[in-house]
């Protein structure tokens, strides 16, 4: 029995104007997707995707679920985009506000007035979609932008301030209550980080690196610790990284077996070390 033939129109959103289009979990299921020639549209793709291209869109709000390969944005103007993917590429775009998860280094080319923020969303099934897309929520490289057309006389991109809320940019994307969609960073599947954000230099206090090693419970423990640390309003999460002990040196340094999961959390803030130690006691 052969494979069921794919109808490209089921995985294309084109020429939508002043309307809302939603794809629910299970309606994309890892297929390639196309969004093109849309204006003043709200588009929500709440499923995992193979790759996606977004072309020639104007004044749209677009949410893209976990993407196995690349999110490619081309020839778009004055749009708001939230997406999570292995790779992110943008070319010939202007005035775009992007809330991003990217496992590798995001790249832009011939773009102007791009503003980046950290991916901030949750819906029923999103965590499972991250797993199907082979993406780790703790390995977000969103601030490390590479500009192929870097020019000392022009600033092609910047970062949102830490106070910006994604809720304010995607209120037009609505769906059934059963999906439990939220753009609140406190409940986001991807932890909010500042990364290499320049405004992070304005955060007073010291740095504290926390290493989480808890066997099969490492990932779960790290996420629970992050949630607990959110109660400390003076502490900010700078970076997170999940990796495995693949070298003899790392195994000796951390006293773990080969291929053991290790998660690093970098915090900054007033009395950061003391506060981290106090919270960490509850996880030891």
The answer to the question of whether 88 is labelled as a binding residue is yes
Question: What is the residue-level pLDDT of the chain in tens, covering all 284 positions?
Answer: 456 788 889 999 999 999 999 999 999 999 999 999 999 999 999 999 999 999 999 999 999 999 999 999 999 999 999 999 999 999 999 999 999 999 999 999 999 999 999 999 999 999 999 999 999 999 999 999 999 999 888 889 999 988 899 999 998 998 888 899 999 999 999 999 998 765 555 677 899 999 998 888 999 999 999 999 999 888 999 999 998 876 666 556 666 677 788 999 999 999 999 999 999 888 76
Is residue 232 packed enough to be buried (19+ CB in 10 Å), middle (13-18) or exposed (0-12)? Answer: middle
What pTM value is reported for the model? 0.92
How is the chain split among helix, strand and coil, in percent rounded to 5? 20, 35, 40
Structurally, at CATH architecture level, domain 8-187 sits in 3 Solenoid (2.160)
Q: Are 116 and 142 in contact (CB under 8 A)?
A: yes
pLDDT confidence of residue 84:
98
Check the annotation: does 155 bind a ligand: no
Beta strands 146-147 and 94-102 are unpaired
- Superfamily name and number for 203-283: Nucleoside diphosphate kinase-like domain (3.30.70.141)
Q: Do domains 8-187 and 203-283 have the same CATH topology?
A: no
Query: Coil, helix or strand for 247?
Result: coil
Instruction: Please check if 270 is assigned to a binding site.
Output: no
User: What are the residue ranges spanned by the domains of the chain?
Assistant: 8-187, 203-283
What Å distances lie between residue 38 and 12, 42, 72, 138, 169, CA to CA? Answer: 11, 9, 15, 32, 18
Consult the annotation and say whether 65 binds a ligand.
Answer: no
What's the pLDDT at 259? Answer: 75
pLDDT of residue 284: 65
């Amino acid at each position: 029995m052969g494979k069921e033939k794919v109808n490209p129109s089921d995985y294309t959103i084109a020429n939508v104007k002043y309307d809302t289009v939603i794809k629910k979990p299970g309606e994309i299921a890892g297929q390639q997707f196309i969004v093109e020639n849309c204006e003043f549209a709200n588009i929500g793709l709440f499923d995992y995707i193979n790759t996606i291209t977004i072309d020639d869109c104007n004044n749209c709000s677009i949410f893209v679920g976990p993407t196995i390969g690349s999110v490619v944005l081309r020839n778009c103007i004055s749009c708001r985009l939230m997406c999570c993917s292995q790779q992110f590429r943008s070319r010939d775009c202007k005035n775009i506000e992007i809330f991003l998860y990217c496992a590798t280094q995001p790249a832009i080319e011939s773009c102007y007035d791009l503003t980046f923020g950290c991916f901030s969303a949750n819906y029923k099934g999103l965590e499972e979609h991250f797993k199907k897309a082979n993406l780790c929520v703790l390995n977000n490289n969103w601030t490390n932008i590479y500009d192929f057309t870097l020019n000392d006389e022009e600033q092609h991109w910047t970062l949102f301030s830490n106070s910006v809320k994604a809720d304010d940019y995607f209120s037009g994307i609505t769906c059934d209550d059963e999906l439990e969609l939220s753009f609140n960073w406190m409940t986001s599947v991807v932890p909010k980080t500042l990364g290499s954000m320049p405004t992070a230099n304005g955060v007073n206090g010291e740095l504290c690196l926390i290493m989480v090693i808890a066997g099969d419970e490492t990932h779960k423990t790290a996420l629970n610790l992050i949630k607990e640390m959110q109660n400390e309003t003076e502490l900010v999460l700078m970076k997170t990284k999940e990796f495995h002990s693949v070298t003899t040196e790392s195994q000796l340094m951390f006293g773990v077996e080969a291929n053991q999961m290790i998660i690093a959390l970098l915090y900054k803030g007033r009395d950061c070390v003391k506060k981290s130690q106090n919270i960490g006691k509850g996880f030891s």
